[in-house]
Structure 1
């Protein structure tokens, strides 16, 4: 069985229609998304839109979303992680890396290291084969450096992957950290990073990223991890302007 996966931080829906157009054309089996938002947290021009529901409805496939935080005065305003799949979602589980919170207003960069973080695990039936499809968004700091809090969180993630006890999984994430860091090394110990089967060196979109001028050649922070059940057929980063990150597109063989 072959599965096409797209991992994408959707930039709070900034380019929502372009994103939907891209995903429709690609028709992936699995989409893992970060910065999924609703309400006034959106960067999309319509604050009434729930970006998860918008994409899910446009593609006509199954999905699950888990907010990491909401706004106190507007529960429809949230940010979280989501998966969309061309399969039957049997159940979902949330693993909290940093506890859920409600904010009086939209949190910005100064909140980055302390913002809530979680992992969404959806058990999906792909034609009789059960696969854990996971998504996460790693803790952020201005520079991608190891910190005690990031290491605490990644240990929880690694422990959870180990707890699956040999069941097949695919994990997509914007980890906000690069290969060679201790954080990424902890995940590398328990899963295969598909990006290592490529020459990809950057997953940020330097045409749209607001910090492009100081990012040089970019950063490699978005990854697709798998259990040993999968081999990488292909992996690349389509050069499309659907976010401030580039999509990571992979075809895996089970």
Structure 2
């Protein structure tokens, strides 16, 4: 976002609409999401329907600080940094940078891809040119970094746990709504002793111990050893998530294919 470097941008454009809680709309979009879990646009609709009430004061507090302004100048466009894997691979082996590249390449993801999905959702929205927009973008752009730092995979439970973790960083009710509703859906799909809801609750607790990632200097963290970054951010292992995966493994259930659809197609 090159506009973030313009010194005359207001911190917050007061013409921005004030989002209100719309639980019925959130429920409708969640039902759509359950029909097609790859439709990220439904997630954006849910977040719009269940907004973080104190987002504006929290963002303004950071943006009015010297640290916030320094970070805005140093990292104006996080996806451009994160998608430059050639540069990231020049950093030390075992670093967060390498772990991030490994994860994104294995999953076939790019940071810009999430931006494009959001842009498709927001194409009919008015785009406000303020510093608040930079802050909103960073909250979105650190999502996959959280997967790497926490060890949560992109399986259904892993995504639920990341959302619960993120709730404690960016307390939009949408995080917990999707996280717990998806957890209940997992329990309904696969009857077992796997601690699914405990794993989601644990994610919320782990997120509370970690400073808000979108307000950290990602360029300073990337060259550091992954375990050092985790210690620095107080991120500890997700034990209930691991236990759920162990339980499913003993049952012969693939956590990335809870309904066995891949096996059905292969047959």
| TM-score, normalisation: structure 2 | 0.26
| TM-score, normalisation: structure 1 | 0.27
**Structure whose alpha-carbon radius of gyration is higher:** 2
